[in-house]
Amino acid sequence: TKTYLTGIQTSGMPHLGNYYGAIRPALAAAESNDSLYFLADYHSLNSVKDPAKLREDIRSVAATWLACGLDPQRTVLYRQSAIPEVFELTTILSTVTAKGLMNRAHAYKAARDRNEAAGSTELDAGINMGLFNYPLLMAADILVMETDVVPVGRDQAQHIEYTVDIAQAFNHLYGEHYSFPIPEGAYPEGTGSVLPGVDGRKMSKSYDNHIPLFMPENELKKLIRRIPTDSTPVEEPKDPDTSVPFQLLSYFAAAERTREVRKRLEAGGMGWGELKNELFEEINTRFGPMRERYDELMAPGSELDQILEAGAQRARRRAAATLAKVRRAIGID
């Protein structure tokens, strides 16, 4: 068996993209492998600066994992912030990581490009070190658990490559004493394996185009109804491949159902309104039962907190064992 690890930032309720890209594949892998799934609360500190909201978001991501079917006996579920070894390892890894590598990180480069486009002369304006160091902290998350496989969406591919680079740099220097296993990313298959948001771009909280997994039924219905579509009349043929509701449907409906809807759209006679009802039904049927479980877990006094506490203890034992080896390898023991 291999060790699987993945994390989700605690910056609001997870959305359909998180489910499709990470949660569902990770839970499938957990059935036959060692698995450690965690809440990346220090990563989200870059964007969430409101302590009450952060506390709520941490519970929300934990409740989501559990409501989606994570078995806390089988999978270690924990908060990143409960594992001090992660931060110690971040410091150690920073000494084998080229700054030039970090300069090329997508999120950092995108922030600089925005400054350039805005005509700013200081390209690093408004960019904090938390954003710059983000990939390094993520490498530590992965390496501290001696991870083999990281199930993530395609948008995380560069972070996985960086983790490999950093692990190799460490192994090159200290491999005689200790080597990290080299992890690999596992990405969802299929065309456009990045789930689109309501505006057709990648579904993302930062674009505000996301569909939260467990939003109340009536809000979900409204949100889906507001997805922009063109004004092709009901009876006219429509192109499913340029339609966001259709693309979303194809992720969640059975293949046969998707083929039927495609045919009806192409033939004419199916309106966008009907397509959206179809999409709502698919999402609501699939996530309705999980939403109930989610609400129970979010209630104060639920078993959530004990589960995280127990997970933290197990995760820490493992992290401490890695750090003991790493410290010995580098000569700080």
Residue with the CB atom nearest ligand TYM in the bound state = 21
Q: Is the CB of 59 or the CB of 202 nearer to ligand TYM?
A: 202
- What is the three-state SS of 154-205? HHHHHHHHHHHHHHHHHHHHHCCCCCCCCCEEECCCCCCCCCECCCCCECCH
Q: Is the CB of 204 or the CB of 277 nearer to ligand TYM?
A: 204
Is residue 37 within 8 Å of 69, Cβ to Cβ? no
Q: Is the CB of 141 or the CB of 282 nearer to ligand TYM?
A: 141
Q: Is the CB of 58 or the CB of 270 nearer to ligand TYM?
A: 58
Name all contacts of 198-204 with Cβ < 8 Å and 24+ positions apart: 198/223, 198/226, 198/227, 198/228, 198/244, 199/228, 199/244, 200/244, 202/17, 202/155, 203/15, 203/16, 203/17, 204/17
Q: Is the CB of 90 or the CB of 243 nearer to ligand TYM?
A: 90
Q: Is the CB of 106 or the CB of 222 nearer to ligand TYM?
A: 106
Instruction: Give the residue among 2, 26, 1 at the shortest CA–CA distance from 183.
Output: 2
Residue ranges in contact with ligand TYM by CB under 6 A = 5-9, 17-18, 20-22, 40, 43, 138, 141-142, 150, 152-153, 155-156, 159, 194-195, 202-204
Q: Is the CB of 136 or the CB of 329 nearer to ligand TYM?
A: 136
Cα-Cα-Cα-Cα dihedral sign, residues 201, 206, 210, 213: positive
Query: Least separation, in Å, of the C-beta of 280 and ligand TYM?
Result: 19
The CA distance from 78 to 272, in Å, is 42
What does the DSSP assignment read for 268-289?
Answer: S---HHHHHHHHHHHHHHHHHH
Query: Least separation, in Å, of the C-beta of 202 and ligand TYM?
Result: 5
Query: Least separation, in Å, of the C-beta of 141 and ligand TYM?
Result: 4
Is residue 311 within 8 Å of 77, Cβ to Cβ? yes
Query: Least separation, in Å, of the C-beta of 251 and ligand TYM?
Result: 9
Query: Least separation, in Å, of the C-beta of 293 and ligand TYM?
Result: 20
Query: Least separation, in Å, of the C-beta of 125 and ligand TYM?
Result: 23
Name all contacts of 97-106 with Cβ < 8 Å and 24+ positions apart: 97/136, 97/139, 97/166, 97/169, 98/169, 101/162, 101/165, 101/166, 102/132, 102/133, 102/135, 102/136, 105/132, 105/134, 105/135, 105/158, 105/162, 106/158
Query: Least separation, in Å, of the C-beta of 42 and ligand TYM?
Result: 9
Query: Least separation, in Å, of the C-beta of 283 and ligand TYM?
Result: 15
Q: Is the CB of 5 or the CB of 82 nearer to ligand TYM?
A: 5
